[in-house]
Structure 1
Amino acid sequence: NIYIATIADEEAAGFIARKKRNTEQSENENGRGTIYLAMSDGRYLRTVIKGRLQIPTAVITLPQIGRICFADAGFEAKIECADMDGKHRDVIVKELIYSPTSLAVDEGKNNRIYWADPKYRKVESVLPDGTKRITVIVDNRLPWAVDVFENNLYWASKESRDLFVQDKFGRGRISILASNIPNVHNIRIHQRFARDTSRAISACSQAVCSHLCAELPLNTYTCLCPDESPQLDDGSCAGATVDELPIPKQCECQNGGICQLNGYCDCGDFEGEQCQKGSTVSRQVCRLLPFINKN
């Protein structure tokens, strides 16, 4: 499953402008931020969080404990968690937070949640119940996007346009991994063991749900129906089922190639669909260099 956070563009722009001016809140104090649940291919959209949500900027899943957590950069900025079906909402951070822009979870360390707040120039972390909050980074380069993998914290700055790595507890030196990255909004580590694979089988893998299944705390689950599709007495949904949608084209770039949005590789000095061959142009230039240098 996937979770999708949305807000109307005009409302987001209005909230941001009013926050900058420190003026009155809008008449709609609950905001129009919404979080949806859907299958990973986009089928069966269901609203799970609505109300008391203004500018949702990030959503993360904590499948070990059957919860989701999300950041709200509205007037009442906060970090909030709920069961994966949207019930039992709890605000876990509401003090000294202004514009949380991204979230990450360290599944190997009690599901500790990390967030960046460029207004306070910080990266902080907290446990899912709101306890043991700590400041990990204070940096004038305005941390914007964060992720955690093993013992490392990765964070990106829109101010300096750099990608940094350091100890996830804020100890030791900060190293620059990449520079000149324009307009970064989010970073994610894609690696085989980036998520906890030691969990028992998902509760939903044993479920017989006609449309959607959401994991819940204590290794339980609930069957859900898409919006405007009533749930019948037997737990199934009145709406028709839809065939699985085709998977978008994926590229497996080699030799430092970069996967583009259209599914093709930008190969730089290499050639081939997956950048598997050295560039003939580069080889020709290398052959010519000794003669050019002599002249």
Structure 2
Amino acid sequence: MKTADRKNLIFLCFGSLFLQVSALFDGTHPNLLYANILQIDSIEINTWRNNSVVPGLSRAISLDYHYSMGLIFWTDVLEMKIATMHIDNMLNINEDIVRTKIGRPDGIAVDWIYNHLYWTDDVYHHIQVSNLDGSMRRTLIDYGIERPRALALDPNRGIMFFSDWGSVPRIERCGLDGRDRQIIVVTDIAWPNGLVIDHKDERLYWTDGALFQIKSSTLDGKDVKTIIKDVKYLPHPFGIAVHDQYVYWTNWEYKSLLRTNKYDGSYVETVQRDLTSPMDIKLYDSNVQPNLGGNVCGYFNGGCSHLCFPTSPWSERNAKYTCSCPDGYDIESDNQTCTKQGGNAQLIIAEHQSISRIDLESLQSDALDVTGLLNTVAVDFHLEKDLVFWTDVTLKGIYVSYLSGGLLSGLGIRKAIISEDINTPDGMAVDWTYDHIYWTDAGLNHIQVSNLDGSFRKTLINTRLDEPRAIALLPQEGLMFFTDWGINPKIERCTMDGSKRYTIITKEIRWPNGIVIDNIGRRIYWTDGYLQLLKSSTFDGTDVFTIVQFAQKTFPQPFGIELYDDQIYWTNWNDKSVYTVHKYKGNDMKPLITGLKAPRNLKIISKETQKKGTNLCGNNNGGCQHLCLPVPTNLNSAGYSCICADMFHKDNKLECIKKDPAELVKDEL
């Protein structure tokens, strides 16, 4: 066959596929679009003809479309991305529009009026929005949410519905800006996998994978009805769609697509069987995306410089819409203009006899204006108070200075806040919400805490420790993680008052030098200088996996570790460098900074790394006389604990009374 003939044949094959797909979506026949893991397929309703729309995918889970623009969007949880393609794309050329800071996007929804894209993330535990091209990305909901999954939008009313299948399964609704949240379904619900709005009947439908049922309610969660509950037909329902008098759903167990009467669940019918792994499903039809009231943001985007959202129908705000900013931007006083948050993220590195500060974008560096350092190991900061703290294991102390330079109350450019009864402070962490400092002491085998000025010093843990080293805090949840590289190496978790200790990592660990918390991903990451690796686990020590395993001959000696966006940063003792790598994929490892003196611990200075949470101790220190330390909030706890400094005990009135000599001797014993 001649080359020209072969090219013509290829063109004819692609052209045939193009004509097939174009005919399917010409608007004359409604179609069912469904994600089938490795591809996105369509089924023409009535003829039940099945066609491939987007082939060659890795693990497609959720999908949606913009009818008037002819765009299909889908999520891929294996490649951790959101992609799009035009429905008339003859060569199946698709575009990745979200690839960074994305974990497991289980749910996706398109706003066809305001032209926004919404998605849930089961790894980052949040809901985000962006323009249809992935720009102007904003986190709408990242609190009070555990396992977000399905999404459904009603842009005509300005409402978003989402499901959460965490420890408190539920369905919520809110405005398209993520505000005015309301829980509308919380009973008889376990795994709400799929959501769909029936615009004709103004009802919400959902599948429940654990309770083998499909239910519906009004848009405010009332008049809940069970459409069908049958383990035979719904052993694991996932995606859901509505068309005319039918409700359609995908079935994981039977790898099939079924439908039944949407009012009473009668006449169950299998529409398609022997599928690969059917996930989300959408009805492709113009009636699914009506535009009834127009765009309240208007032609000029409501005067908003970036994002404009309609307010919810039940909002108490006296406005039809609200202006919002992408992540990393702040709204100005006019409530319309967004400006980029000042300053680039910076690295600070404890370098033996100096502390370096390096701009993450330009990689320009300078040294903090502090002198007299002999052997710095740990470093941390308090951004709001403009303070930097460090430990010196030769001087046997913890010191503080200003991040921006200058004198500390006339005492010079540094101040020792802890200089007595301290031996080897290898690890240190600052609580930027409750204003405390925590540190490990490998010489005295304990973990202590104090106020930022060193006052009200308290020993939290002094048992079952051999060589405590790294420490990391999660103030908004009252959790502390620390490492021990002694005879029995381990990583432990406890509350920030030192109680409720749990050993979470004991296997494949020798020298856990550094540890960092990923609050968004709900994981911890650590370095091991002996085993020469970077590892990660969930907060309870499960789902352990290796990010990077270095070749033994290189002997890199990873020590300090930090996390920013999707990247891990760590110091390398051996070649005096800082490296970076993707926190999930472990690929694209590269040296970021070389030629350092003796890098130990490092931190990234950014508003994102020290987001200010709620201080439950309040203005009155929670009624505590000495220390008010955060602990997890539950039915038996208000979220904090009153603790007295060493050499004091607490009486019934929460007052701290100095211990008598006999008590001190007993404590020593």
Q: Following TM superposition, by how much is the alpha carbon of 1:209 offset from its aligned partner in structure 2, in angstroms? A: 1.9
Q: Deviation string for 1:197-216 (max 9, x for gaps)? A: 4x021212342322111122
| Whole-angstrom CA distance in 2 between matches of 1:152 and 1:220 | 35
Code of the residue aligned with 1:129 in structure 2: it is D
Which structure's residues are more often helix, by fraction? 1
| Whole-angstrom CA distance in 1 between matches of 2:212 and 2:290 | 30
Unmatched 5+ stretches in structure 1: 9-31, 241-295
Which structure's residues are more often strand, by fraction? 2
TM-score normalised to structure 2 length: 0.31
Which of the residues 217, 224, 236 maps onto 2:324?
A: 224
**Counterpart in 2 of 1:166?**
260
Q: Following TM superposition, by how much is the alpha carbon of 1:44 offset from its aligned partner in structure 2, in angstroms? A: 0.7
| Whole-angstrom CA distance in 1 between matches of 2:295 and 2:311 | 10
Q: Following TM superposition, by how much is the alpha carbon of 1:151 offset from its aligned partner in structure 2, in angstroms? A: 2.4
Do structure 1's residue 36 and structure 2's residue 128 form an aligned pair? yes
Unmatched 5+ stretches in structure 2: 1-115, 314-318, 342-669
| Whole-angstrom CA distance in 1 between matches of 2:223 and 2:158 | 20
**Counterpart in 2 of 1:212?**
307
Q: Following TM superposition, by how much is the alpha carbon of 1:49 offset from its aligned partner in structure 2, in angstroms? A: 0.8
**Counterpart in 2 of 1:136?**
227
| Whole-angstrom CA distance in 2 between matches of 1:146 and 1:60 | 11
**Counterpart in 1 of 2:240?**
146
**Counterpart in 1 of 2:289?**
195
Which of the residues 77, 87, 92 maps onto 2:169?
A: 77
Note the aligned Cα RMSD (angstroms).
1.8
Counterparts of residues 9-158 of structure 1 (less than 5 Å): 33-110=125-202, 112-140=203-231, 141-142=234-235, 143-158=237-252
Contact (CA 8 Å) 1:204, 1:214: kept in 2 or not?
yes
| Whole-angstrom CA distance in 2 between matches of 1:144 and 1:137 | 14
Q: Deviation string for 1:196-248 (max 9, x for gaps)? A: 24x021212342322111122359211111011011223111149xxxxxxxx
| Whole-angstrom CA distance in 2 between matches of 1:237 and 1:121 | 46
User: Does the residue aligned with 2:157 lie in a helix, a strand or coil?
Assistant: coil
Q: Which structure's relative contact order is higher, taking Cα pairs within 8 Å and 6+ residues apart?
A: 1
Which of the residues 319, 334, 338 maps onto 1:237?
A: 338
Largest Rg, 1 or 2: 2
User: Does the residue aligned with 1:217 lie in a helix, a strand or coil?
Assistant: coil
Code of the residue aligned with 2:229 in structure 1: it is V
Q: Following TM superposition, by how much is the alpha carbon of 1:172 offset from its aligned partner in structure 2, in angstroms? A: 3.3
Q: Following TM superposition, by how much is the alpha carbon of 1:182 offset from its aligned partner in structure 2, in angstroms? A: 2.3
| Whole-angstrom CA distance in 2 between matches of 1:239 and 1:132 | 46
| Whole-angstrom CA distance in 1 between matches of 2:244 and 2:305 | 37
| Whole-angstrom CA distance in 1 between matches of 2:312 and 2:157 | 5
User: Does the residue aligned with 2:215 lie in a helix, a strand or coil?
Assistant: strand
User: What is the aligned-residue identity percentage?
Assistant: 27
Q: Deviation string for 1:40-85 (max 9, x for gaps)? A: 1110111111111111111111112211110001010100111111
Code of the residue aligned with 1:236 in structure 2: it is T
Which of the residues 174, 183, 188 maps onto 2:277?
A: 183
User: Does the residue aligned with 2:297 lie in a helix, a strand or coil?
Assistant: helix
Q: Deviation string for 1:130-157 (max 9, x for gaps)? A: 2101001112132222111232211111
User: Does the residue aligned with 2:278 lie in a helix, a strand or coil?
Assistant: coil
Q: Deviation string for 1:168-214 (max 9, x for gaps)? A: 113431222111122222101111222224x0212123423221111
Residue 129 and residue 174 in structure 1: after superposition, are their counterparts in 2 closer, same or farther (change >3 A)?
A: same
| Whole-angstrom CA distance in 2 between matches of 1:151 and 1:196 | 18
Q: Deviation string for 1:235-285 (max 9, x for gaps)? A: 111149xxxxxxxxxxxxxxxxxxxxxxxxxxxxxxxxxxxxxxxxxxxxx
Which of the residues 98, 117, 123 maps onto 1:2?
A: 117
